[in-house]
């Protein structure tokens, strides 16, 4: 951390009223929040949590890959993160012969650690740029304002990174655009794969147990950051050395009990806690059910191929897991939003707001304007979901759709040869990537089914009519027109045909593109949307942003003292959440304990099952009660997972769970089903974070994996 420029006076942090809700900005905790942390059990000084000039806890926290968190746990750049965060890299490093995903892997020494294409980012500095942005925007509105905003942000980013590929900058909007921070990161690109338990441990329980407590998943994997000899971030090079970090977390193997302090540092991706009631209704009525239905369809076809062939399983595993994760999430979100009447509760609050806003020109129409805005967009929402999750849910069509930039380059007046060449090169890279991940069998079925669902479910007035007329012309009704059509597309597109592709890239023309059946199909839907509905969506969004900013400002004014929890919504910037290890009551008469143990893992075991199988060695070690120093004296067993009251969301995956002394006790990896409405409304009684116990992590490395040398790198504390 070099230098930080934040004007504290501008910060809109207020009192918190509810237990454990809040994703706080660690550099701006404020006395109130810090005092509350201490009351809950924190033993560290504020400057140990976050310091500009000295090494502190926050220096051990990284953005892992594109959307996860990791933590540094040794003085040699060792990183712990979730198994599901390392999943893509593990699958990529695997082959049918050396199947690390299935069998696990531990590098015997550093020379055996495996190169990946992952990156890891350390937060370098933060600057409050609200005034710069406000000054630049002046009194602009609408599209002009959006364009200017983009310009200002890209200038700020350029200035901050100076084009250095090992720096990344981003402007983050806080409190719905009432404040802006510039974040600058150091990007490390030599990240090596150190080890993982087998998938039967790392993803134990699969999608059946995903988003659920009780839970028995060993959701962790291990990587390492390498730098140049003088400690600089770099691309992969054999000559690079393990990073000497500014700070790393000690690891605690002390037993846990109900009520223990727990703090989670990391990068929560997105929440929308001040979403308006109409937004909740749009989710439960249209957006979520559409997404769930379409993903359900896609997953079914992918799964059918994956269980047949280990090579296909490796190929599709990562993409399948990502689709399945949010398929179950959005299904559960709908159920919980309805169960707890989140819509009704938001309505009640909006009525209070309206009473307060009466006669205040700035605020009195916000809620009504929101309703109008949602009403205007609502008829098109399903169309948008079916395009994104259905039609573009076919990997072939998503790839073919990306050729539109090629068509744009070709169509440009006085198109420069070098620009066309650039676009062709980009398409070639995209093709290589596409083919590597493509399973034609499942994709062809997805395409046929998506085309049919779009026709049956989306408002006929909004469909690309000519496309469907042509489709029915080209095949008879008996032979299932959608299947026949999809088969033709797969047969004739240049995407799979090296000779056709080569001929096209040697002499790219607009006609050739437009004659390709995959491109034709993709653009029929994309152009229809772009021409008729994209501007409606843009207007809906920009109006929502405008209203959101004013609404939040109003809420703060309405009750400045006990205003709701005034932490900004999650936006993939570093946050700290604090709470306790705590049991809960999921339903009448049922109490869920704070931990799950190895006994529970064994109870769920089903030999050769896709989700609940176990390695024989695991069973043997359990039967021998060989838990080493990691057994919990209270449970006389190995604790596998535990729960806390922390407020986290997707993006926090892999985040360190830290005790009152600043020691690592686990890794956050999931949320519980009863609180899946958490993006839109935090439930103070039911919300729990599910964590893998670090004692189980160490046991899996040392006893199950036989990689004690990795445990020896850590600073393990037992007192
Ligand atoms: N629900 C977890 C999260 O979003 C991901 C768990 C991955 N496991 C799975 N079975 N898909 O962080």
Residue among 457, 459, 465, 460 nearest 528 (CA): 465
Contact 329, 671 (CB under 8 A): no
Of 20, 59, 128, 219, catalytic: 219
Atom of ligand 1 nearest to the CA of 671: 1
Say which range, 174-183, 377-386, 471-480, has the weakest mean pLDDT: 471-480
Which residues, other chains included, contact 387 with Cβ-Cβ below 8 Å and sequence gap of 6+? 454, 525, 526, 529
Domain assignment present for residue 428? The answer is no
- For residue 187, tell me if it sits in a domain: yes
Measured from the Cβ of residue 232, the count of other Cβ atoms closer than 10 Å reads 12
Are the beta carbons of 227 and 237 closer than 8 angstroms? no
pLDDT of residue 3: 41
Domain count of the chain? 1
Q: Which pLDDT band holds residue 17 (cuts at 50, 70, 90)?
A: very low
Q: How confident is the model at residue 235 (pLDDT cuts 50, 70, 90)?
A: very high
Asked, for residue 343, whether it belongs to a domain, the answer is no
- 530 CB-near residues (< 8 Å, 6+ apart): none
Show the 3-state SS of 51-107: CCCCCCHHHHEEEECCCEEEEECECCCEEEECHHHHHHHHHHHCCCCCCHHHHCEEC
6 band by pLDDT with thresholds 50, 70 and 90 = very low
Instruction: Say whether 252 sits in a helix, a strand or coil.
Output: strand
DSSP letters for 617-640? HHHHHHHTT--GGG-BTTTTB-EE
Lowest-pLDDT range of 28-42, 488-502, 505-519, 641-655 = 28-42
| Mutational pocket test of ligand 1: of 86, 670, 672, the residue with most ligand atoms within 8 Å of the beta carbon | 670
CA 653 to ligand 1: nearest atom: 12
Where is average pLDDT lowest: 157-161, 416-420, 674-678, 708-712?
A: 416-420
Q: How far away, in angstroms, is 73 Cα from ligand 1 center? A: 23
Predicted local distance difference test score (pLDDT) of residue 561: 73
Structural domain boundaries enclosing 210:
1-273+560-719
Residue 352: inside a domain: no
User: Does residue 448 belong to any structural domain of this protein?
Assistant: no
pTM of this structure: 0.95
Say if 109 falls within a structural domain: yes
Q: Does residue 84 carry a catalytic annotation? A: yes
Instruction: Read off the CATH number of the domain in which 651 is found.
Output: 2.40.10.120
Rounding to the nearest 10 degrees, give the CA dihedral for residues 26, 27, 33, 37: 50
- C-alpha 317 to ligand 1 mean position (Å): 13
DSSP bridge partners of 402? none
- Distance between CA atoms of residues 694 and 549, nearest Å: 41
Spatial neighbors of 585 by CB under 8 A, at least 6 apart, are: 591, 592, 685
216 is catalytic: no
In contact, 187 and 168? CB cutoff 8 Å: yes
* 195 within domain boundaries: yes
What is the pLDDT confidence band of residue 303, given thresholds at 50, 70 and 90?
very high
The residue whose CB lies within 8 Å of the most ligand 1 atoms, and thus the one to mutate among 202, 267, 669, 691, is 669
Q: In whole angstroms, what is the distance from residue 483 CA to residue 492 CA? A: 14
Residue with tokens 């990391």: 266
Catalytic, 219? Answer yes
Residues with CB under 6 A from ligand 1: 84, 203, 206-207, 210-211, 321, 324-325, 650, 653, 669-670
Which range, of 99-108, 311-320, 359-368, 565-574, averages the lowest pLDDT? Answer: 565-574
Report which ligand 1 atom has the smallest distance to the Cα of 669.
12
Contact status, residue 406 vs residue 514, Cβ threshold 8 Å? no
- What per-residue confidence (pLDDT) applies to 164? 97
Nearest to 276 by CA among 193, 351, 199: 351
Mean pLDDT of the chain: 95
Say if 115 falls within a structural domain. Answer: yes
Determine the Cα–Cα distance for residues 522 and 462; give it in Å rounded to an integer: 16
Atom of ligand 1 nearest to the CA of 217: 8
Residue appearing with tokens 């280990």: 310
Burial label, 462 (beta-carbon count in 10 A; 0-12, 13-18, 19+): middle
Ligand 1 atom 4: residue of nearest CA: 650
Among 84, 216, 383, 678, the active-site one is 84
């Amino acid at each position: 951390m070099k230098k930080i420029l934040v004007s504290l006076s501008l910060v809109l942090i207020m009192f918190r009223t509810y237990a454990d809700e809040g994703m706080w900005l660690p550099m701006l905790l404020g006395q109130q929040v810090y005092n509350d942390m201490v009351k809950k059990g924190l033993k560290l000084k504020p400057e140990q949590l976050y310091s500009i000039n000295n090494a502190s806890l926050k220096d051990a926290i990284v953005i892992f890959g594109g959307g996860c968190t990791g933590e540094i746990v040794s003085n040699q750049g060792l990183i712990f993160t979730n198994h599901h965060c390392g999943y893509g890299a593990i699958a990529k490093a695997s082959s049918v012969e050396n199947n690390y995903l299935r069998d696990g892997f531990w590098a015997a020494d550093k020379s055996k650690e495996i190169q990946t294409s992952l990156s890891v980012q350390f937060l370098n500095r933060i600057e409050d740029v609200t005034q710069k942005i406000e000054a630049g925007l002046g009194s602009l509105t609408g599209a002009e304002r959006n364009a200017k905003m983009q310009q200002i942000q890209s200038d700020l980013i350029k200035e901050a990174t100076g084009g250095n590929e090992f720096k990344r900058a981003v402007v983050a909007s806080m409190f719905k655009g009432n404040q802006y921070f510039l974040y600058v990161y150091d990007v490390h690109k030599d990240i090596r794969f150190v080890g993982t338990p087998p998938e039967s441990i790392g993803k134990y329980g699969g999608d059946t147990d995903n988003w659920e407590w009780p839970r028995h998943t060993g959701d962790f994997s291990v990587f390492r950051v390498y730098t140049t000899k003088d400690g600089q971030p770099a691309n992969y090079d054999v000559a690079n050395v393990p990073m000497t970090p500014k700070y790393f977390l000690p690891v605690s193997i002390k037993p846990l009990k109900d009520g223990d302090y727990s703090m989670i540092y990391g990068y929560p991706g997105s929440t929308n806690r001040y979403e308006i009631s109409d937004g909740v209704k749009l989710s439960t009525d249209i957006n979520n059910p559409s997404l769930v239905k379409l993903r359900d369809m896609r997953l079914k076809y992918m799964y059918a191929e994956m269980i047949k062939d280990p090579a296909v399983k490796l190929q599709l595993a990562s993409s399948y897991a990502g689709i399945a994760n949010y398929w179950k999430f959005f299904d559960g979100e709908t159920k919980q939003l309805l169960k707890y009447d989140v819509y009704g509760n938001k309505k009640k609050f909006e009525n209070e707001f309206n009473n307060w806003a009466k006669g205040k020109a700035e605020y009195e129409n916000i809620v009504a304007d929101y309703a109008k805005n949602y009403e205007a967009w609502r008829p098109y929402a399903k169309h948008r979901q079916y395009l994104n999750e259905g039609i573009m849910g076919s990997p072939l069509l998503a790839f073919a759709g990306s050729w539109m930039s090629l068509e744009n380059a070709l169509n440009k007046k006085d198109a420069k040869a070098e620009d066309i060449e650039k676009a062709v090169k980009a398409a070639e890279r995209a093709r290589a990537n596409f083919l590597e991940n493509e399973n034609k069998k499942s994709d062809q079925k997805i395409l046929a089914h998506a085309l049919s669902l779009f026709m049956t479910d989306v408002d006929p007035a909004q469909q690309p009519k000519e496309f469907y007329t042509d489709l029915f012309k080209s095949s008879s009704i008996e032979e299932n027109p959608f299947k026949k059509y999809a088969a033709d597309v797969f047969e004739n597109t240049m995407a799979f045909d090296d000779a056709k592709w080569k001929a096209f890239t040697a002499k790219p023309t607009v006609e050739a593109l437009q004659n390709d059946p995959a491109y034709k199909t993709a653009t029929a839907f994309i152009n229809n949307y772009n021409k008729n509905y994209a501007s409606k969506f843009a207007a809906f969004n920009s109006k929502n942003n405008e209203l959101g900013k004013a609404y939040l400002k109003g809420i703060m004014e309405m009750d400045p003292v006990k205003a709701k929890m005034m932490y900004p919504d999650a936006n993939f910037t570093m946050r700290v959440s604090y709470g306790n290890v705590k049991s809960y009551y999921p339903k009448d008469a049922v109490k869920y304990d704070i931990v799950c143990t190895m006994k529970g893992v064994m109870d769920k075991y089903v030999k050769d099952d896709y989700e609940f199988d176990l390695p024989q060695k695991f069973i043997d070690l359990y039967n021998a009660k060989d838990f080493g120093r990691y057994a919990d004296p209270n449970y006389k067993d190995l604790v596998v997972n535990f729960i806390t009251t922390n407020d986290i969301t997707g993006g926090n995956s892999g985040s360190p769970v830290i005790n009152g002394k600043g020691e690592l006790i686990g890794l956050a990896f999931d949320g519980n089903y009863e609180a899946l409405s958490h993006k839109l409304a935090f439930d103070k009684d039911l919300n729990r974070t599910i964590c893998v116990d670090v004692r189980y992590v160490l046991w899996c490395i040392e006893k199950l994996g036989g990689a004690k040398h990795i445990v020896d790198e850590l600073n393990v504390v037992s007192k």
